[in-house]
Amino acid sequence: EIENGEQVERPENWLKDINPWEFPRPDFSYHVPFGGDVTQVTNWRGELEVHWNSNDGVHALAYDMPVTGGQNTAGMMRLWSARAATDFNFASFNRGDYIEAVGEKVQSETLSRVLYPNDSSLAGRELRLKQEFFLVSASLQDILHRHLGHGMRIEELSDRVAIQLNDTHPVLAVAELMRLLVDVHRLGWEKAWALTVGTFAFTNHTLLSEALETWPVPMFERLLPRHLQIIYEINARFLRDVMHRNPGDVDLLRRVSIIGEEGTKTVRMAHLAVVGSHRVNGVSHTHTQIMRQTLFNDFDRLWPDRILSLTNGISQRRWLADANPALLKLIGTRLGPNWFHRFDRLRELEPFAEEAGFRQEFAGVKRANKEALSRLLRDQMGIAVDPGTLFDLHIKRIHEYKRQLLNILQVIGRYNRIRGGAEVQARTVIFAGKAAPGYAMAKRIIQLILSVADIVNNDPAVRGLLKVVFVPNYNVTVAEQLIGAGDLSEQISTAGTEASGTGNMKLALNGALTIGTEDGANTEIRDAVGHDNIWMFGLRFAQIEALRFQGYDPNTILRDHAELGEVLDMVRGGYFAPQDRDLFQPIVDSLTQGGDRYFVLADYDAYVAGQAEIDSAYRAQDDWTRKAVLNVSRMSPFSMDRLVKQYAERVWNSVPDSAGA
């Protein structure tokens, strides 16, 4: 929530009330070990056995939640709750140490008590690592238990089970499955490794190197000593193969190694994922291309067929039927009652973009959604907005690469032009999103947005031409209330940083036009909806790389740019924070002294020019509505149904069940 102009985090105890759709499964409980040491013994057959002698651990208790599917099908999502191995320490109690008596229980159950702990501290990092392993180990033990319980042999695992590693957070599964197969089920290394690689596939979701998880080897060894041994062995065998195929290329070995050697040794989870999976996919064509060229270039040359592109998708059931029932109903009046179950039929809506009566009805749905959002903002936030203005939505996680900063700087420039007497298209600029708890700069950007809103919204010189709103506590429910009301969708990340994005798809499906960079899935949306029905701006990835190579100096832009200089002077000089004039100095410093890492200043002019074109286009309301209808009609390729089918055919080697369609 927002308190005194800042984001603050509050616990949301969503488990305090009984969830009628969540069923405890006490018959499914697994021990998850931590710490200790590893010993090797020779058994009576003369075989070497490895024993992990853990000195800590928790029990994972299963809970099931049904997830309804198509027609009469339902899936079951299995959740895990951590329980202490010992609830009460009588020895500590008898010594009078009452806190220690229950300390183990409290500490153990913290694993599943707090989602996404702040990992800016060592304790937070340890908790995050233990949390990730807890979920991985419980799930894998359960998968193997069910596999064997259905009468199948362990050697059939990769023929019967497909596991998708979604980003680097669950990649400990590679080492844990090897531990279970080798140490518990007594398979030989080669057979276990073949099953592991055949079972796992990995989806990469980021091009930012700092977002790819790494773990310090000393911490890893203390918490998961057996897994570090396994990772060392995986790495040694992998590097031997690389050396055999590329003799003499020592630098290649350093680049692809699962163990990072720079400074404190680290375990590179993304490298472990690529080595331990039979397929690796990006989530848009642009993302996959850049991933092949940069992040995983060496791996792509080692395994040219391993990396593929599967563009993200969204659920039309959530983001159209639930979020915008009025639009769903309107489409049904033209396409009939059953079109929704064959979502590719949405393309049949396209001819109605040329029908004046349909455009009028479509505009009526949009207006009603904007009026509903206006009432919500008035009732819940006390902010009055005019539904007749252009609703400009920038709703996503707050991060420097997503460039909410570029947007709010442009808003300040627009504010200055309005104060100077310019007549511009009236806008309501709506921001929504959360910053990670330990991300100071993202939180500072939220403060700037709120401070600008406070000044702009109370300045009579604005004449109703500009309103700035920040919606707190952004979540799926809030998104459903916002998306159907959007006229303009802001997708302005620095080219080469956004893997795909799905907000761009959700907003376009609901009739918002897009302004965006050539990043993520924006280019595929442009190709689908047509170049005339979207605004693309800014530097391309190749241009950014060239600027970096040449030596980008953002201050050269400022020297010849009076408007941008004035905007930064206002931010720097305390215009928006008179009570603390240095509050936003770190933001300006990141642009002028920190190298403008995300090319905010470099893209400012192109962004402002694009916004001016949008002002003109919005004034021609009927043509704007025609463009919006075309956007909606051409969005069926971005359905989750298409994506799941592609995963099934190209990654999991399975056939989708048509009954669940």
pLDDT tens column, 482-511: 999 999 999 999 999 999 999 999 999 999
Residue 98 confidence (pLDDT) above 70: no
CA distances from 49 to 40, 46, 145, 542, 591 (A): 6, 9, 22, 52, 57
Q: Is residue 10 part of a domain?
A: no
Active site annotation includes 443: no
pTM of the prediction?
Answer: 0.94
Residue 99 confidence (pLDDT) above 70: no
Domain-terminating residue out of 96, 113, 130: 113
Nearest to 484 by CA among 509, 514, 515: 509
pLDDT recorded at residue 657: 64
**The pair of three-digit structure tokens given for residue 389, joined into one six-digit string:** 């203005």
Considering the domain architecture, whether residues 69 and 190 belong to the same structural domain is answered as no
d(CA 608, CA 567): 13
Considering the domain architecture, whether residues 343 and 277 belong to the same structural domain is answered as no
Considering the domain architecture, whether residues 206 and 75 belong to the same structural domain is answered as no
Q: Is residue 296 part of a domain?
A: yes
Domain-terminating residue out of 113, 140, 162: 113
Catalytic residue among 205, 370, 414, 626: 205
Catalytic residue among 255, 397, 572, 642: 397
Tens digits of per-residue pLDDT, 369-395? 999 999 999 999 999 999 999 999 999
Considering the domain architecture, whether residues 93 and 199 belong to the same structural domain is answered as no
State the pLDDT confidence band at 41, using cuts at 50, 70 and 90: confident
Tens digits of per-residue pLDDT, 422-453? 999 999 999 999 999 999 999 999 999 999 99
Active site annotation includes 414: no
pLDDT recorded at residue 87: 66
DSSP β-ladder status, 74-84 and 56-68: antiparallel
Considering the domain architecture, whether residues 542 and 438 belong to the same structural domain is answered as yes
Mean pLDDT of 84-93: 65
Tens digits of per-residue pLDDT, 545-586? 999 999 999 999 999 899 999 999 999 999 999 999 999 999
Considering the domain architecture, whether residues 83 and 153 belong to the same structural domain is answered as no
Domain-terminating residue out of 246, 281, 310: 310
Q: Is residue 458 part of a domain?
A: yes
Tens digits of per-residue pLDDT, 64-80? 999 988 778 889 999 99
Give the torsion through C-alpha atoms of 378, 382, 385, 391, to 10 deg: -80
Considering the domain architecture, whether residues 27 and 159 belong to the same structural domain is answered as no
Considering the domain architecture, whether residues 96 and 126 belong to the same structural domain is answered as no
Tens digits of per-residue pLDDT, 311-351? 999 999 999 999 999 999 999 999 998 899 899 999 999 99
pLDDT recorded at residue 661: 42
Q: Which domain holds residue 277?
A: 119-310
Q: Is residue 4 part of a domain?
A: no
Nearest to 525 by CA among 543, 512, 538: 512
Active site annotation includes 523: no
Share of the chain above pLDDT 90, in %: 86
**194 near 179, Cβ under 8 Å?**
no
Name the amino acid, one letter, at 90. F
pLDDT recorded at residue 659: 47
Q: Is residue 657 part of a domain?
A: no
Active site annotation includes 396: yes
Mean pLDDT of 461-465: 97
Considering the domain architecture, whether residues 332 and 479 belong to the same structural domain is answered as yes
Catalytic residue among 279, 359, 402, 434: 402
Tens digits of per-residue pLDDT, 284-308? 999 999 999 999 999 999 999 999 9
Active site annotation includes 306: no
Catalytic residue among 168, 502, 514, 625: 502
CA distances from 175 to 2, 116, 119, 283, 477 (A): 41, 22, 22, 25, 37
Considering the domain architecture, whether residues 174 and 46 belong to the same structural domain is answered as no
pLDDT recorded at residue 13: 79
Considering the domain architecture, whether residues 136 and 98 belong to the same structural domain is answered as no
Active site annotation includes 113: no
State the pLDDT confidence band at 92, using cuts at 50, 70 and 90: low
Residue 88 confidence (pLDDT) above 60: no
pLDDT recorded at residue 650: 97
Catalytic residue among 396, 414, 467, 626: 396
Tens digits of per-residue pLDDT, 232-290? 999 999 999 999 999 999 999 999 999 999 989 999 999 999 999 999 999 999 999 99
Name the domain count of the chain: 3
pLDDT recorded at residue 270: 98
Q: Is residue 240 part of a domain?
A: yes
Residue 96 confidence (pLDDT) above 80: no
Q: What is the CATH number of the domain that holds 259?
A: 3.40.50.2000
Share of the chain above pLDDT 70, in %: 96
| Neighbouring residues of 195: CB distance < 8 A, sequence distance ≥ 6 | 154, 155, 157, 158, 177, 181, 187
H/E element holding 192? helix 189-199
d(CA 530, CA 635): 11
Nearest to 69 by CA among 640, 635, 483: 640
pLDDT recorded at residue 101: 56
- Spatial strand order of the sheet with 266-268 comes to 214-216, 266-268, 259-260
DSSP helix/strand/coil, 546: helix
Q: Is residue 55 part of a domain?
A: yes
Tens digits of per-residue pLDDT, 170-209? 999 999 999 999 999 999 999 999 999 999 999 999 998 8
Q: Is residue 99 part of a domain?
A: yes
Nearest 5°: the CA angle 99, 102, 106 is 105
Considering the domain architecture, whether residues 355 and 275 belong to the same structural domain is answered as no
d(CA 501, CA 200): 24
DSSP β-ladder status, 56-68 and 390-395: unpaired
